[in-house]
C-alpha cells in the first residue's frame, strides 16, 4: 500500500507589526470618539437631556417683550402645546399687533428653543402641513438702523390659485441681530439657544394680492419698529 499523502501544513500567518496594530486601534478609538462627541453635541443642541439653565433664562426673557409700543398694541393669542412640542420650543410669544393709526394688523410668533431644532424648521415645511404652498419663492429683505442691520425672509403662501394667501416673514436671532439665514443650523452652530421670529398678515382684499400691484408693506414697517424693542427685551443683561 502506498504511503498516505498528507497535504503540507499551511504556513503560519505573517506577524502583524506591533505598530500597525496599535495604529488600527487608535483609528477605531478616534472614530468612536468622534461619534460620541457628535452625539453629545447634537444632544445638547436638541435639548435631549433636559432644559439647561441658559435655555430657561432665554425663554424667561420672552416675558419682557412688550404688548404695546409706539402706535402698535398687541392682543395675546393662545398657542397649543402641541405646536410648541412640534417646534421643540420651550417658550413663545403669540400676539396680533394692530396699529392704531393705520389700522394695519400683523400676527407675531416668537419662539425660543435649542438651536438645532429651532434652526431646522422653515415655513415651507410648517405651512405645507396646513395646506399652504409657497408662491413665487422667497425674497431676502433688509431693515436699516436703528432696527438693523437685520435681514429677514419674505414669501407669499396660498392654498390655491384663487387664494390671495398670506405674506409670511421670518428670521433667526441669538444675540439681538436678526438674520435671513440660508443655513441657520450652520450659522448658529456655536449657539445653544436660538430665537425665531415669524410675522405674517392676510393678503385678502389688498393690492399686494393682485399681480403687478403694490402697496405699503405693514410687516416691514412693523419690523422697523419692533426689532429695536425686541433687541432690548431679549438682551441677556439685567432686565
Please, where are the H alpha helices in the chain?
A: 18-45, 53-60, 81-87, 115-118, 123-126, 184-187, 218-233
Q: What is the DSSP string of 131-166?
A: T-EEEEEEEEEEE-TTT-SEEEEEEEEESSTT---E
pTM (two decimals): 0.74
Quote the pLDDT of residue 238: 56
Q: What digits encode the pLDDT tens for the residues 160-182?
A: 888 889 999 999 999 778 999 99
Q: What digits encode the pLDDT tens for the residues 91-105?
A: 999 999 999 999 999
pLDDT 10s digit of each residue in the chain, 239 long? 555 555 555 556 556 555 555 555 544 444 444 343 333 344 444 445 467 899 999 999 999 999 999 999 999 999 999 889 988 999 999 999 999 999 999 999 999 999 999 998 788 777 877 888 999 889 999 998 777 789 999 999 999 888 889 999 999 999 778 999 999 989 999 999 999 999 999 987 554 445 454 567 899 999 999 999 999 999 887 54
The residues, any chain, with a CB within 8 Å of residue 80's CB and separated by 6 or more, are none
Instruction: Name which of 196, 178, 56 is nearest 121 in CA terms.
Output: 196
> 97 near 106, Cβ under 8 Å?
yes
Name the pairing type of β-strands 150-158 and 166-173.
Answer: antiparallel
- DSSP at 194: E
For residues 107 and 200, give the distance between their C-alpha atoms in angstroms, rounded to a whole number: 5
Residue 211 in 3-state DSSP? Answer: coil
Give residue limits of the domains in the chain: 18-50, 53-233
The residues, any chain, with a CB within 8 Å of residue 90's CB and separated by 6 or more, are 47, 51, 55, 56, 59, 84, 112, 113, 114
For residues 94 and 97, give the distance between their C-alpha atoms in angstroms, rounded to a whole number: 10
**Dihedral angle, C-alpha 21, 27, 32, 36, nearest 10 °:** 140
Quote the pLDDT of residue 199: 97
Amino acid at each position: 500500500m502506498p504511503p498516505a499523502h498528507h497535504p503540507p501544513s499551511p504556513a503560519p500567518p505573517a506577524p502583524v507589526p506591533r505598530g500597525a496594530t496599535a495604529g488600527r486601534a487608535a483609528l477605531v478609538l478616534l472614530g468612536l470618539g468622534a461619534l460620541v462627541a457628535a452625539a453629545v453635541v447634537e444632544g445638547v443642541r436638541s435639548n435631549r437631556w433636559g432644559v439647561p439653565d441658559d435655555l430657561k433664562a432665554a425663554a424667561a426673557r420672552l416675558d419682557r417683550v412688550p404688548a404695546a409700543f409706539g402706535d402698535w398694541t398687541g392682543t395675546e393669542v393662545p398657542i397649543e402645546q402641541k405646536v410648541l412640542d412640534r417646534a421643540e420650543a420651550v417658550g413663545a410669544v403669540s400676539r396680533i399687533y394692530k396699529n392704531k393709526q393705520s389700522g394695519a394688523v400683523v400676527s407675531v410668533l416668537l419662539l425660543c428653543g435649542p438651536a438645532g431644532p429651532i434652526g431646522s424648521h422653515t415655513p415651507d415645511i410648517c405651512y405645507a402641513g396646513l395646506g399652504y404652498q409657497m408662491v413665487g419663492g422667497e425674497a431676502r429683505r433688509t431693515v436699516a438702523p436703528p432696527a438693523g442691520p437685520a435681514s429677514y425672509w419674505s414669501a407669499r403662501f396660498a392654498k390655491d390659485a384663487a387664494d390671495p394667501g398670506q405674506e409670511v416673514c421670518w428670521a433667526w436671532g441669538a444675540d439681538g441681530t436678526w438674520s435671513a439665514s440660508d443655513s441657520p443650523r450652520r450659522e448658529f452652530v456655536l449657539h445653544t439657544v436660538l430665537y425665531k421670529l415669524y410675522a405674517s398678515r392676510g393678503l385678502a382684499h389688498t393690492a399686494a394680492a393682485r399681480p403687478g400691484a403694490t402697496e405699503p408693506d405693514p410687516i416691514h414697517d412693523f419690523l422697523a419698529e419692533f426689532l429695536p424693542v425686541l433687541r432690548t427685551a431679549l438682551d441677556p443683561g439685567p432686565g
